[in-house]
């Protein structure tokens, strides 16, 4: 599955969860997991694009841990 396809699947799941309104604890936990995974996917996509644009090998991009991507600002 491509990164973009995975992002689309996660966004759809996120929207389904948001549409439920107030969430049970297990659903809230899943929503938080989805949001972290989305951040990781977007970061991976940005890494790949940056590597391609600078003549690097996009396959050298890697998924960074949540502790890294969750600290990004902006």
Confidence (pLDDT) at 70: 85
Confidence (pLDDT) at 56: 97
Q: Where does the pLDDT of residue 72 fall: very low under 50, low under 70, confident under 90, or very high at 90 and above?
A: confident
Confidence (pLDDT) at 6: 96
Token reading at 73: 């600002």
What are the residue boundaries of the structural domains of the chain, listed by start?
Answer: 3-69
Mean pLDDT of 46-66: 96
Confidence (pLDDT) at 12: 98
Mean pLDDT of 49-73: 93
Q: Is the pLDDT of residue 74 over 80?
A: no
Q: Return the C-alpha torsion angle 25, 26, 28, 29, nearest 10.
A: 120
Neighbour-count burial of 6, counting CB atoms closer than 10 A to its CB (0-12 exposed, 13-18 middle, 19+ buried): middle
């Amino acid at each position: 599955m491509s990164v973009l396809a995975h992002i689309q699947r996660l966004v759809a799941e996120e929207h389904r969860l948001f549409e439920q309104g107030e969430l049970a604890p297990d659903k809230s936990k899943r929503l938080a997991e989805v949001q972290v995974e989305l951040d990781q996917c977007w970061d991976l996509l940005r890494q790949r694009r940056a590597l391609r644009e600078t003549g690097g090998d996009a396959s050298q991009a890697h998924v960074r841990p949540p502790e890294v991507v969750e600290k990004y600002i902006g």
